[in-house]
Structure 1
Amino acid sequence: MTITDTNSPISRAELRGRATGAGVMAFFGLGWMACGVTDMPVAAGRVVFAAGVLVSITFAVLGARLGRGAANAPTTDTEPTAARKKKVGVRFALVVVAEWVAIFVIARVLVSTDHAEAIPAFVAAVVGIHFFPLASLFGVRAYHWTGAALCASALAAAVLAPLTSTDALWTSVPGFGSAAALYATCVYLLRTR
């Protein structure tokens, strides 16, 4: 289940991890794309979203192909044991639960203080932060870059929207910025060296 960043042969477990990661990134990338287009003119938004659908489907299909190819990959002495898989699964669940609790609390606070427009930026920051523990959990140093990019898009929205008095930036900046970060991570995960 651990994805490594070394130049050793790609193991079955690593290929499966990459395939799963690419599928998840493609799915959430499309969600962020949907966020990004919310304040666009309808026709332009549909075109941009349709492009996002095609990109996400492409990454999901490539991830599925990579996952199917994992059956032919060599196993290694470092294949995770059942106990290791369970431990990783529990830690992953804890990270995701903490992420969702933080999103819920932040959204409630922003709504109750009449700042609901800022929810996408703060959600992008929380999602970005959740990539940092995942980087060490899965052994993917690139997740640090993914997390930093999501946090940067959140920060950019938090600075630019109030500075320019343009509420659309609260959705477009974290939406497109997060989608781009997740799609770039798909490219990284799908590489075969």
Structure 2
Amino acid sequence: MTLADTPSPISRAESRGRATGAGVMAFFGLGWMACGVTDMPVTAGRVVFAAGAAVSITFAVLGARMGRGAADAPTTDTGPTAARKKKVGVRFALVVVAEWVAIFAIARVLVATDHAEAIPAFVAAVVGIHFFPLARLFGVRAYHWTGAALCASALAAAVLAPLTSTPALWTALPGFGSAAALYATCAHLLRPPG
């Protein structure tokens, strides 16, 4: 093994960021799993949800371990300054506020127009879109894939549910598709460097 083949360690800040991201993704992945099982038979839905809970707990525990291990990670001289952290925090808050305002507005319109069944798909699309500015903000290119996968699950529901006259697809496709995308992102964030 040459020096070029040796995986480069990730910085303390990056390790903490990955750990936090994995924890957040695990939490919301379980929420999307709950959406996905909504129209399943009760017993099957409970089994699938329990499996999702086990996956979420596993990713959360692995993220917590990574976060604790961040204390041993090397620091970098080029780490973010306090001003940079504040700027990132403000931009993150703006993205999240815009996301929640869009979700609220879209849900109100869908309910008012008797299309409440479409809310999960439109929420998945908005959540997917919010990953694109986060990819740039946090420097995590994989968030582009996360966003695209959530948008794809929303589009699949918007096309297939009306086309097949299967109302359960309004919850199943964005629910399971979004959960899978978030769990895949957890796995990516928690992978060893190199």
Mapped contact 1:59–1:186 kept (Cα < 8 A): yes
Q: CA RMSD in A?
A: 3.9
Point out where structure 1 has 5 or more consecutive residues left out of the alignment. Answer: none
Structure 1 residues 3 and 90, CA gap change in structure 2 (3 angstroms): farther
Measured after TM superposition, the shift of residue 90 of structure 1 is 0.2
TM-score normalised by the chain length of structure 2:
0.95
Deviation at residue 9 of structure 1 after TM alignment: 2.4
Compute the displacement of 1:8 (Å): 4.0
Relative to structure 2, which stretch is displaced further, 62-71 or 8-17?
A: 8-17
Is contact 1:131-1:146 (8 Å) kept? yes
TM-score, normalization: structure 1? 0.95
Alpha carbons 1:2, 1:17 under 8 Å: kept: no
What displacement does 1:77 show?
1.6
CA distance in 2, matches of 1:80, 1:3: 27
Residues in 2 aligned to 1:3 and 1:139: alpha-carbon distance in whole angstroms: 25
Provide Cα deviations, 1:123-151, integer angstroms capped at 9, x if missing partner: 00000000000000000000000000000
Q: Could you report, residue by residue, the CA deviation over 1:25-58 in whole angstroms, capped at 9, with x for unpaired residues?
A: 0000000000000000000000000000000000
Shift of 1:7: 6.4
Change over 3 Å in CA distance of 1:6–1:89 after alignment to 2: farther
Q: Is the 8 A contact 1:3 1:139 kept in 2?
A: no
Deviation at 1:5, TM superposition (A): 16
Q: Is the CA contact 1:129–1:147 (under 8 Å) kept in the aligned structure 2?
A: yes
Say whether the 8 Å CA contact 1:160–1:169 is kept in structure 2: yes
User: Structure 2 vs 1, CA of residues 124 and 99 (structure 1 numbering), >3 Å: closer, same or farther?
Assistant: same
Partner of 1:152: 152
Contact 1:5/1:141 (8 A) holds in 2: no
SS in structure 2 of the partner of residue 80 of structure 1: coil
Report if the CA contact (8 A) 1:2-1:13 is conserved: no
After TM superposition, where is structure 1 displaced by more than 2 Å over at least 4 residues in a row?
Answer: 1-9
Q: Secondary structure at the match of 2:186?
A: helix
CA–CA distance in structure 2, aligned partners of residues 61 and 84 of structure 1? 29
- CA distance in structure 1 between the aligned counterparts of 2:109 and 2:33, rounded to whole angstroms: 25
Q: Distance in 2 between matches of 1:173 and 1:3?
A: 45
Residue 79 of structure 1 and its aligned partner are, at CA, apart by 1.1
Identity %: 91
SS in 2 for 1:166: coil
CA–CA separation in structure 2 for the residues paired with 1:2 and 1:61: 33
Decide whether the 8 Å contact of 1:5 with 1:140 is kept in 2: no
Distance 2:175 2:22 in 1: 18
Computing the radius of gyration from Cα coordinates, the structure with the larger value is 2
Indicate how the Cα distance of structure 1 residues 190 and 57 shifts in structure 2: closer, same or farther if over 3 A, else same. same
Contact 1:153 1:177 (8 Å CA) reproduced: yes
